Amino acid sequence: MLPFDFEYYRPQSLQEAVDLFQSLQRQGKQSMIFSGGTELLTLGRIDLAFTEAVIDIKDIPECNSLQVNEQRLLLGSALSLTKIEEANVFPLLTKISSGIADHTAREKITLGGNICARIFYREIVLPFLLADSQVLLSGPLGERIVSIHDVFQEELRVEPGEMLIQLAMESKYIRAPFYAFKRRQQWETGYPLITIAALKIDQRIRIAISGLCPFPFRSQEIEASINHKGRTIEARIDGALAVLPQPILADVEGSAEYRLFVLHNLLFDVLAALDQVQG
């Protein structure tokens, strides 16, 4: 049970959702747009989340799209992680998705819900960062399509009332060689210590990481060092570790030093898996 009451709305179209947000805003009501609700239930019980109204976008058709062809892959933000796994249209995304929480939770957690979550892991965004994805947003000022790199900077940064509707990428990324691994400190379905995702495209390895810092990220500086073929593997990894964003997390899952040790080994694994592969 949540310790507060809220109004619940389930619009059937994008325009209805936008109109609802603007109406609630005019009434001075704090509203929340969600597609899964797991975070509100979890954080609301411990007084870390509050809203006066919920706009649930799970019934909006565009938010449930799943299309793949020779040119692109398109995924709606209200797709559950279970649906993404079952479709298996992007093996790297499937691998990352299957490591989030447990099977029961993944039936409720949505693509957009994980990307927009307040919890800092947000691992599902990693494949989209690697694939230079495009993002469809809709809000009071209309729709816009932007690069994920323009709106995801440590977190999804959108205008008030804007909703994440869809993500799309070129099909070449879903067929590219990849590596993904989730290192946990404790139990099989516990929070990750570090999740790493890598994709090889145009003969270069791309790397995105969650759990090392209080935000998921992809770093051009790290990739430049990892792809520096004129150096030894150890030098390439040391160079990558020297340009990590800050701060490095230290919590009950692991110290900053231990996280760096784990990442060092994972970067070796990435190179072992992808360095000599054509992609």
Q: What is the DSSP string of 141-155?
A: TEEEEEEHHHHBSSS
Q: Which domain-ending residue is among 173, 191, 209?
A: 173
Alpha helices in 64-219 (DSSP H): 81-87, 91-98, 103-106, 111-115, 125-130, 148-151, 171-174
**Pair (186, 118) in one structural domain:** no
**Pair (169, 71) in one structural domain:** yes
- pLDDT of the residue at 28: 86
**Pair (121, 140) in one structural domain:** yes
pLDDT tens string 219-256: 999 999 999 999 999 999 999 999 999 999 998 889 99
CATH of the domain at 27: 3.30.43.10
- pLDDT of the residue at 120: 87
Question: Is the residue at 279 inside a domain?
Answer: no
Contact by Cβ (8 Å): 188, 197: no
Q: Which domain-ending residue is among 120, 148, 173?
A: 173
- pLDDT of the residue at 119: 84
Number of domain units in the chain:
3
Q: Is a pLDDT exceeding 60 seen at residue 199?
A: yes
- pLDDT of the residue at 41: 55
Nearest to 126 by CA among 177, 54, 198: 198
- Cα–Cα distance for residue pair 202/181, rounded to 1 Å: 22
Question: Is the residue at 24 inside a domain?
Answer: yes
Range of the domain at 263: 178-274
Q: Is a pLDDT exceeding 90 seen at residue 118?
A: no
- Cα–Cα distance for residue pair 96/126, rounded to 1 Å: 8
**Pair (104, 191) in one structural domain:** no
What average pLDDT does the segment 140-146 reach?
A: 95
**Pair (131, 75) in one structural domain:** yes
**Pair (79, 165) in one structural domain:** yes
**3-state SS class at 259:** helix
From the number of C-beta atoms within 10 Å of its C-beta (0-12, 13-18, 19+), residue 36 rates as buried
**Pair (89, 156) in one structural domain:** yes
Question: Is the residue at 138 inside a domain?
Answer: yes
**Pair (167, 67) in one structural domain:** yes
Mean pLDDT of the chain: 90
Label residue 46 by pLDDT band (50, 70, 90): very low
**Lowest pLDDT segment from 4-13, 104-113, 116-125, 187-196:** 187-196
pLDDT tens string 104-114: 989 989 999 99
**Pair (192, 158) in one structural domain:** no
**Pair (68, 169) in one structural domain:** yes
**Pair (84, 162) in one structural domain:** yes
**Pair (111, 150) in one structural domain:** yes
Nearest to 4 by CA among 51, 40, 55: 51
- Cα–Cα distance for residue pair 77/57, rounded to 1 Å: 9
For the chain, the distance separating the N- and C-terminal CA atoms, rounded to the nearest angstrom, is 50
Question: Is the residue at 1 inside a domain?
Answer: no
Question: Is the residue at 2 inside a domain?
Answer: no
- pLDDT of the residue at 91: 97
CATH of the domain at 102: 3.30.465.10
Q: Greatest CA separation found in the chain?
A: 62
Q: Which domain-ending residue is among 153, 173, 193?
A: 173
CATH of the domain at 231: 3.30.390.50
Nearest to 100 by CA among 88, 82, 83: 82
Q: Is a pLDDT exceeding 80 seen at residue 175?
A: yes
Token code pair at residue 97: 């998705």
Q: Is a pLDDT exceeding 70 seen at residue 191?
A: no
What average pLDDT does the segment 263-274 reach?
A: 97
Question: Is the residue at 92 inside a domain?
Answer: yes
**3-state SS class at 73:** strand
